[in-house]
């Protein structure tokens, strides 16, 4: 399952980067392209297709970003949005309770009045964008230190965002692309009144569970419908995808529009080595530690299991994804290819008088990796992943301090342009389960202690001489931050209120803040500033050599990829381009209906429905996607909706570093499967009619 865009814990460095040794793109369906820079010649030559500006605008406006970490699309004139069940899962869990478990049983609004408002879901639609590279770089003094330049660049970005959002009222983000080669201002329309319309049972959506995750052939109904409201009424979007009659066909050209989260294709070999030797192993250690703690919590009872489900799902998903990435980096083949590409790029740059001066950039970046390696444990094992309350507390403590600074001096996440969305999440009425919070926080503290030892500044402040279990219990049982009103009061009260607060979690968050700020400053000054500066130098060399025949690394911003519906060879046999419902019932019967291969009753009931059995269920395409693309529409050249991205196959995991169309496949729910499920399994006939007009 394509992971939603889980932010990596490596502070700021993950978003920066380096350069690439380039391989030819000719003939491949590679690329997560920005809407302004589709490879027109390639599309024309491979598929005899030309994207007109009107076509591109319609595709862009029909696509949305889910700020929970996914993508989606408008599919009706009345604001219906289709995404993955696993993107909707967080909201489904937040509106569920012990008595009404929509995750387990599915959710079906048969009339508009039954549609349920989501507590803290925000959608973004990219309505306009412009290149602001000249302005950002113009504000930077090239003779200043790396650190100074970094500050100047960030300040100018903050100014651009603020100006634009003040003027338009839109969410305005300046996005760094091509490792600092370009900066673009993206203006998004925000939607915050989202209502749940329909979601199948989790077991139908995530059929086969963790074993079948990142696997094809596959048999998942991983879809969910929301409706977008404004002023209490469904919106009528300027653009939406029409439902295809036939759905995806073998060999046809298809597009995927969505928000790929992050790729590392342009990183230097030394950066990839850091990933391989430190970052990914540390990341896995955190995930596995937390997983065991949450499994122990879940084992206490069905209600505990229900509460932890979404978090555990995300952890399992990330473990499988990161394991695949790490296996790729540890496999000599991939690194050898990367090394060869880098050597070629260096040689080409060295051969040109005007580019020769960039030759030391690789070495400077490599030197930074050694610095990182020396502190990798601090960078990773001070994190509080898994505890929502701890995240809220530390955010509040930083929030009140940061917003007092000039806009351009703040941490990025507290800039004016980001505050609306942040407040929306901060004041979310979604339920907080204290027992779950305590288990997660205790585990965070326990792992920090194990990995960093009792003398680490963060550990000392976070434990204050107590055991992790004692501390977590004290903090969680005593806090009132589970109430949105308590959080609001602190934000409204500002620094004074936070400093006066006796809420144990706030007291604690204040205590650990200095160590956090110190480490972050070190990371920004010593790591980020160098990686950005040197990355930009490499970007210059790259532009000079290759122009804009390339796409930037993914940044959880709107991209378009193209490809074709196609099976592949695996081992010594063939994998078909699609599966059918026959296959779903085969897999269930083959495992004698044992979990995670059991069927929800509604699905099991239809196992003799001959028309349903032969219906396409999932299919694969060569489109270049990655986590964050979950919920992306798959559409054909006529902008018809033919499928719904929900995963990549296991061979796609190394796609974080390199794309190879032999076996790298995007996995999608076939549009015919969605329609057949609505009509023949869930009897949502009105919804089916809204999609098809029939």
Cβ distance to a copy of itself smaller for residue 218 or 265: 218
Among 27, 169, 211, 453, contact with a copy of itself (rule: CB under 8 A): 211
- Alpha carbons 621 and 593: distance in angstroms, whole number: 29
Cβ distance to a copy of itself smaller for residue 493 or 567: 567
Among 586, 598, 660, 661, contact with a copy of itself (rule: CB under 8 A): 586
Give me the helices (H) in 501-641, please.
504-522, 529-546, 581-590, 601-604, 610-613
Whole-number Cα distances in Å, 457 to 10, 453, 454, 463 = 18, 10, 8, 10
Q: Is 113 in the site for a copy of itself (CB under 8 A)?
A: no
Question: Under 8 Å CB-to-CB from 528, ≥6 apart: which residues?
Answer: 11, 12, 13, 16, 150
Residues of this chain, 239-278, that bind a copy of itself according to CB under 8 A: 250
Q: Is 212 in the site for a copy of itself (CB under 8 A)?
A: yes
**451 backbone φψ class: left, alpha, beta (φ>0; ψ -120 to 50):** alpha
Q: Is 320 in the site for a copy of itself (CB under 8 A)?
A: yes
Cβ proximity of 395 and 425 under 8 Å: no
Q: How many CB atoms lie within 10 A of CB 160?
A: 22
Cβ distance to a copy of itself smaller for residue 211 or 301: 211
Among 583, 600, 643, 655, contact with a copy of itself (rule: CB under 8 A): 583
Q: Is 614 in the site for a copy of itself (CB under 8 A)?
A: yes
Q: Is 587 in the site for a copy of itself (CB under 8 A)?
A: yes
Cβ distance to a copy of itself smaller for residue 142 or 608: 608
Q: Quote the least distance from Cβ 586 to a copy of itself, whole Å.
A: 3
Cβ distance to a copy of itself smaller for residue 498 or 668: 668
Q: Is 433 in the site for a copy of itself (CB under 8 A)?
A: no
Cβ proximity of 432 and 482 under 8 Å: yes
Q: Quote the least distance from Cβ 323 to a copy of itself, whole Å.
A: 8
Q: Is 141 in the site for a copy of itself (CB under 8 A)?
A: no
- Alpha carbons 121 and 117: distance in angstroms, whole number: 9
Q: Is 189 buried (19+), middle (13-18) or exposed (0-12) by CB count in 10 A?
A: buried
Whole-number Cα distances in Å, 160 to 146, 165, 406, 683, 685 = 21, 9, 14, 50, 47
DSSP state of 338: H
Whole-number Cα distances in Å, 654 to 14, 29, 264, 413, 562 = 17, 16, 10, 29, 19
- Alpha carbons 486 and 160: distance in angstroms, whole number: 33
Among 613, 639, 680, 686, contact with a copy of itself (rule: CB under 8 A): 613
Among 180, 208, 258, 504, contact with a copy of itself (rule: CB under 8 A): 208
Q: Is 578 in the site for a copy of itself (CB under 8 A)?
A: yes
Among 345, 577, 635, 659, contact with a copy of itself (rule: CB under 8 A): 577
- Alpha carbons 614 and 86: distance in angstroms, whole number: 25
Q: Using CB under 8 A, which of the segments 22-30, 75-83, 476-484, 570-578 binds a copy of itself?
A: 570-578
Q: Using CB under 8 A, which of the segments 58-66, 214-222, 396-404, 480-488 binds a copy of itself?
A: 214-222
Q: Is 41 in the site for a copy of itself (CB under 8 A)?
A: no
In the chain, what are the helix, strand and coil shares in percent, each to the nearest 5? Answer: 50, 15, 35
Cβ distance to a copy of itself smaller for residue 493 or 576: 576
Q: How many residues lie near a copy of itself (CB under 8 A)?
A: 37
Among 21, 324, 631, 655, contact with a copy of itself (rule: CB under 8 A): 324
- Alpha carbons 623 and 582: distance in angstroms, whole number: 26
Among 21, 217, 386, 643, contact with a copy of itself (rule: CB under 8 A): 217
Cβ distance to a copy of itself smaller for residue 509 or 667: 667
Paired tokens of 129: 């964008």
What track of x and - describes contact with a copy of itself for positions 648 through 677 (by CB under 8 A)?
--x---------------------------
Question: Under 8 Å CB-to-CB from 161, ≥6 apart: which residues?
Answer: 172, 173, 174, 185, 415, 416, 417
| CA-only gyration radius of the chain, Å | 25
- Alpha carbons 637 and 426: distance in angstroms, whole number: 41
Among 74, 186, 229, 585, contact with a copy of itself (rule: CB under 8 A): 585
Q: Quote the least distance from Cβ 644 to a copy of itself, whole Å.
A: 18
Q: Is 574 in the site for a copy of itself (CB under 8 A)?
A: yes
Q: Is 214 in the site for a copy of itself (CB under 8 A)?
A: yes
- Sign of the CA dihedral running 529, 533, 534, 535: positive
Cβ distance to a copy of itself smaller for residue 354 or 569: 569
Residues that bind a copy of itself (CB under 8 A): 208, 211-215, 217, 250, 320, 323-324, 567, 571-574, 576-580, 582-583, 585-587, 589-592, 597, 607-608, 610, 613-614, 650
């Amino acid at each position: 399952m394509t992971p939603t865009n889980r932010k990596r814990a490596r502070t700021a460095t993950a978003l920066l980067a380096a350069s690439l040794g380039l391989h030819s793109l000719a003939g491949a369906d590679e690329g997560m392209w920005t809407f302004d820079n589709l490879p027109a010649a390639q599309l024309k030559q491979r598929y005899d297709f030309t994207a007109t500006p009107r076509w591109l605008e319609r595709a862009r406006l029909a696509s949305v970003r889910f700020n929970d970490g996914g993508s989606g699309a408008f599919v009706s004139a009345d604001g219906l949005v289709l995404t993955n069940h696993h993107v909707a899962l967080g909201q489904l869990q937040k509106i569920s309770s012990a008595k009404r478990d929509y995750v387990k049983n599915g959710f079906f609004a048969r009339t508009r009045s039954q549609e349920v408002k989501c507590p803290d879901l925000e959608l973004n639609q990219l309505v306009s964008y412009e290149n602001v590279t000249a302005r950002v770089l113009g504000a930077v003094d090239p003779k200043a230190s790396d650190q100074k330049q970094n500050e100047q660049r960030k300040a100018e970005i903050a100014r651009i965002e603020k100006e634009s959002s003040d003027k338009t009222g839109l969410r305005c983000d300046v996005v760094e692309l091509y490792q600092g080669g370009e900066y673009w201002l993206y203006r998004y329309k925000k939607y915050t009144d989202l209502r749940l319309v329909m979601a199948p049972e989790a077991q139908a959506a995530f059929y086969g569970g963790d074993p079948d995750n990142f696997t094809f052939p596959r048999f998942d109904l991983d879809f969910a419908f929301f409706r977008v409201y404004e002023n209490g009424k469904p919106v009528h979007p300027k653009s939406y995808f029409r439902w295809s009659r036939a759905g995806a066909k073998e060999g046809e050209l298809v597009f995927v529009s969505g928000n790929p989260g992050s790729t590392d294709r342009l990183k230097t070999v030394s950066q990839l080595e850091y990933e391989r030797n430190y970052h990914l192993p540390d990341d896995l250690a955190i995930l596995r530690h937390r997983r065991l703690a949450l499994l122990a919590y879940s084992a206490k009872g069905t209600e505990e299991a229900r509460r932890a489900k979404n978090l555990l799902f995300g952890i399992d998903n990330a473990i499988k994804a990161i394991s695949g990435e790490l296996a790729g980096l540890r496999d000599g083949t991939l690194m050898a290819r990367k090394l060869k590409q880098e050597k070629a790029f260096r040689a080409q740059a060295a051969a040109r008088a005007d580019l020769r001066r960039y030759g030391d950039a690789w070495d400077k970046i490599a030197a930074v990796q050694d610095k990182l390696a020396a502190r990798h444990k601090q960078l990773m094992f001070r994190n509080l992943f898994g505890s929502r309350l701890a995240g809220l507390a530390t955010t509040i403590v930083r929030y009140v301090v940061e917003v007092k600074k000039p806009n351009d001096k703040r941490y990025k996440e507290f800039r004016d342009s980001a505050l609306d969305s942040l407040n929306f999440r901060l004041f979310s009425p979604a339920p907080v389960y204290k027992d779950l919070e305590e288990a997660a926080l205790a585990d965070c503290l326990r792992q920090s202690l194990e990995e960093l030892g009792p003398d680490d500044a963060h550990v000392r402040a976070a434990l204050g001489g107590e055991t992790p279990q004692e501390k977590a219990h004290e903090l969680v049982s005593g806090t009132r931050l589970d109430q949105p009103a308590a959080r609001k009061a602190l934000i409204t009260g500002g620094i004074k209120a936070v400093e006066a607060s006796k809420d144990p979690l706030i007291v604690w968050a204040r205590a650990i803040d200095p160590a956090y700020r110190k480490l972050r400053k070190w990371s920004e000054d010593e790591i980020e500033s160098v990686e950005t500066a040197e990355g930009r130098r490499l970007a210059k060399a790259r532009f000079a050599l290759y122009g804009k025949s390339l796409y930037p690394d993914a940044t959880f911003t709107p991209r378009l990829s193209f490809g074709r519906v196609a099976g592949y060879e695996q081992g010594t046999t063939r994998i078909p381009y699609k599966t059918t419902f026959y296959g779903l019932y085969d897999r269930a019967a083959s495992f004698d209906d044992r979990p995670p291969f059991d069927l929800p009753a509604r699905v099991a009931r239809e196992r003799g429905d001959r028309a349903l059995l032969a219906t396409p269920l999932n299919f694969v395409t060569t489109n270049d996607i990655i986590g964050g693309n979950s919920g992306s529409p798959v559409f054909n050249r006529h902008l018809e909706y033919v499928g719904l991205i929900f995963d990549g196959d296991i061979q796609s995991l190394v796609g974080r570093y390199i794309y190879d169309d032999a076996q790298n496949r995007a996995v999608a729910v076939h549009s015919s499967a969605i329609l057949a499920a609505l009509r023949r399994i869930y009897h949502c006939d009105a919804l089916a009619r809204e999609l098809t007009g029939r």
